[in-house]
Structure 1
Amino acid sequence: MKEILIYRYKVLGFQRFSNLFWAIFIFVSSLNFLIISYKSYQINIGNNFELIDNSVLFFPQGLLMGFYSLLGLLFSIFSFTSHLLRLGYGFNEFNKKENIVRLFRWGFPGLNRRIQICYSIEDVKSIKVNYYPERTIYLSLKGNFDIMLIRKGFFESIPLLEKQAINIAEFLKIPLVYE
């Protein structure tokens, strides 16, 4: 039987469907707020737009709705660009052939867009699983230094989280610690 020398899995980062859904929802809601704010300023934007109630005064409600709409539009644009740039997307690799643990992520555009951290497998003490307050898996290094491998929200259920942690611990032949 051939021994597996490399264990690698993807980390989605910002590339999740829920992030895209909320970006679209906030974008549409912000456009609605902007239209209401614009309509409350008493500028005629057409007779076909009678879905909006005219009872909103520009000061302070319409002005505040316009401010919130601009914030929402900026946030949704940031979310769309983060999704397109694949921020946080990467992989965790455990390589017995090279004797390293490699953590790779994509960051913001610029000189340091590629984020790669490598550790020796001998420096790895254990794999920690934390359930409360968030479901995460940590790589525990010698010297009481923990690195988060999988963040909150990556796994929908605790059995999937445990299975991933067990797979990593068995591959590296190190203890699995529950917190």
Structure 2
Amino acid sequence: MTASISSTQPQTLKRAVLGARRLSNIFWATVLTFGGLGFALAGASSYLKTNLLPFADPTQLVFIPQGVAMSFYGVAALGLATFLWVIIGLDVGGGYNQFDKASNRLKIVRKGFWGENRQIEIEHPLEDATAVRVAIKEGLNPRRTLYLRIKGRPDIPLTRVGQPIPLSDLENQGAELARFLQVPLEGL
């Protein structure tokens, strides 16, 4: 007769990390696309002396300097919008953090840009994790980030970039991970 040992604690902890496919990025990419298109068409209308916009008459603008400035702003906005749509499509920064006691491995995976190294993976034994660190910076550009301390490596960020996580969620995630890994929680 064999006895099996059951544990109430899960053997794997996996958390998804939100990348560039956020509502705020989609909003700004859309605003930049329509705004840039409007400015570019206004500049082209002033050059061609043909109204290309249904809601305004930019043919009255003098091409130099007003039409050139409008065209420049339009091209700049469309370039930035294109960049945003590309990173949204590739979901740059998205991925997951996985901590597996059964295989004794931790794995951090993020999506990057094009190329053969599009997916960034960091893998270590669980015993290399020394602490979970919470970094909080308030003010005009607040940041709230969880970091994993690993022997011989710089701290690895575990949370999404951009919009700060609510403080209570950050504390709960940090405490849960520190408890799971049986390491100290620093920074609170």
Query: Would the alpha carbon gap of residues 113 and 97 (structure 1) be closer, same or farther in structure 2, given more than 3 Å must change?
Result: same
Gaps of 5+ in 2: 1-6
**Which of residues 3, 6, 18 is equivalent to 2:24?**
18
Query: Would the alpha carbon gap of residues 134 and 17 (structure 1) be closer, same or farther in structure 2, given more than 3 Å must change?
Result: same
Alignment of structure 1 residues 1-179 onto 2, 5 Å: 1-45=7-51, 49=54, 51-52=56-57, 54-132=59-137, 134-143=143-152, 145-178=154-187
CA RMSD of superposed structures (Å): 2.1
1: distance between equivalents of 2:153 and 2:95? 25
2: distance between equivalents of 1:15 and 1:50? 32
- Checking the alignment, whether the CA contact within 8 Å between 2:144 and 2:165 is kept in structure 1 is no
Gaps of 5+ in 1: none
Q: What SS does structure 2 have at the residue aligned with 1:135?
A: strand
Equivalenced residues, count: 178
1: distance between equivalents of 2:74 and 2:36? 4
1: distance between equivalents of 2:35 and 2:13? 43
- Checking the alignment, whether the CA contact within 8 Å between 1:135 and 1:151 is kept in structure 2 is no
1: distance between equivalents of 2:155 and 2:182? 18
Sequence identity (%)? 34
TM-score by length of 2: 0.85
Q: What amino acid sits opposite 1:100 in the alignment?
A: R
- Checking the alignment, whether the CA contact within 8 Å between 2:143 and 2:164 is kept in structure 1 is no
- Checking the alignment, whether the CA contact within 8 Å between 2:50 and 2:59 is kept in structure 1 is no
TM-score by length of 1: 0.89
- Checking the alignment, whether the CA contact within 8 Å between 2:11 and 2:101 is kept in structure 1 is yes
